[in-house]
A and B are shown apart, each in its own frame.
Chain A
């Protein structure tokens, strides 16, 4: 199309002011979250991991069936929740890496603050929207399969009661929420430290691996396994195991929760400090 045709086409269209309805400001963070999720879903590895996170469910379902047959002969019930939770946490870590590493840094790099904050959006709406864009996939891959497995166990295992089922649900919900909060804020904080998604991704891997190493080192040095809960991956596993079936003590469970909250707060503070230093983020 040449310039003459393009000019002619512009002149044929008339600008009309918008006079339709407007949504409430309170829900504006959902727009940011939906945008974030749509971007994530464009990544094929994100889609594969999201779907793939439900595959271990099949394996554990088989284990539940086998276990229910042989538990009487074994004289005990196998601990399924801890290994199951560990596998789902792997998916959560990977999804957080994929959808969170570019969330703040890319906005800093491309000047997107001007896009967001020249429109009726508060900074809180922006931050909560970004967090939800990371936290929601985490909750899907932790809470979703856990709920399905709990339901399956209720239907298949003779020892599973309604009270136990509700306990599993509550444990999964609380642990998922804490894991989502922790991973979300830590990832956003790391993403705000650099304008490159790849660098943020490396930082994330470093925090996860380094956190585990630190927690393990402290536990070995101080000869107290409670310190393992400082790693938010191990902490969430301890918390979930304590809440779901009480296989670890309340101290380890509580330490796990405290550790996750501390990590979440740290990530949130890093994010706020970083954005406060960037003048255009008002």
Chain B
């Protein structure tokens, strides 16, 4: 387990920013979803020990950020959402400085900075002042600064923010590479569902400071749909009629050869099996129908999906 939270609360004055947050993340790429103001940035700051939280609520790579914030920050690389930079330096100097702040000796910091800047695609631009960088270049620089000290976990806050489609594609490719080839774990915070869908295999969804869902991305999508895909050997229309008589919404997409069945409240997939058995029909395929991440997100926001993982009070 890379990261876990247990009953985490955080207040800005009397306003709760996080309430009873509970989830865990396995090695790989996890997406932190949620609308603006859901508490994503607050959660990331808590994971880094930048907010005062009670000890024992959070574990990051085996360390408690409330007790060992510096050890956590040594092993975690952060790509913040905000347009942050050091004034008066070029890209190489900023990356070297970030490496030095993480404890790399000067000679190692310099070679390492060149290496990661080349990796993220900043060539000759590394010698230009950071103030002159375009948005895409600044995002690459932030990623380089997050990678330079060789972290085990990356926290990426809106990594594709402000990028054009080409820049976004390149950034997502880089994220996929570090996850799959280099074996880094990534927590990607974004409100862009396409980014999460592209690179993440786990999802944690926040809304108003609470965890709405935590678990596998596919489970999030399929649980969000509540619909089934059913394929029978013959006479699908008979099964469709029988299910409709029992309150199901049934559609038969033309030319697809299967039925899309939406079960009524309180009914389980057993209903489909019973009707097929009664009619003497052979079911060849039955599986949850993926709604797509955006539909799952909307349903989760509307409370249509029961919370995955741990229920929140």
Contacts and interface: CB of A to CB of B under 8 A. Distances in A.
A117 B149 contact: no
A10 B120 contact: yes
Given A1-B123, A112-B86, A15 B80 contact: no
Interface stretch (A22-30, A49-57, A206-214, A266-274): A22-30
B259 interface: no
B57 interface: no
Contact of A3 (B45, B52, B166): B166
Q: Which of B82, B101, B147 has the most CB of A within 10 A?
A: B101
Contacts of A19: 150
A157 B289 CA distance: 97
A188 interface: no
Interface stretch (B102-110, B196-204, B304-312): B102-110
Nearest to B78: A118
Contacts of A22: 74, 102-104
Given A10-B121, A282-B51, A120 B181 contact: no
B48 interface: yes
Interface in B172-195: 173-174, 177-178, 181-182, 184
B231 interface: no
Contacts of A115: 84-86, 94, 98, 101, 145
Nearest to A39: B88
A109 B51 CA distance: 21
A25 B73 CA distance: 12
A48 interface: no
Contacts, number: 131
A13 interface: yes
Contacts of A110: 84-87
A42 B129 CA distance: 13
Nearest to B86: A112
Interface residues of A, number: 44
A21 interface: yes
Contacts of B52: 282
B84 A17 contact: no
A32 B98 CA distance: 10
Given A3-B166, A23-B103, A114 B84 contact: yes
B83 interface: yes
B170 A31 contact: no
Contacts of A23: 103-105
B307 to A, nearest CB: 30
A201 to B, nearest CB: 15
Given A17-B150, A28-B101, A120 B86 contact: no
Contact of B71 (A18, A111, A120): A120
B260 to A, nearest CB: 39
A158 interface: no
A116 interface: yes
Closest 10 CB pairs of A and B: A18-B150, A22-B103, A111-B84, A118-B78, A120-B70, A119-B101, A17-B150, A15-B182, A31-B100, A120-B74
Interface of A: 1, 3, 6-7, 9-10, 13-25, 28, 31-32, 35, 38-39, 42, 102, 106-107, 109-112, 114-122, 280, 282
Given A20-B104, A116-B101, 8 more contacts: A10-B170, A10-B173, A110-B85, A118-B48, A119-B101, A121-B70, A282-B50, A282-B51
6 contacts: A10-B170, A14-B181, A16-B115, A18-B112, A115-B86, A118-B48
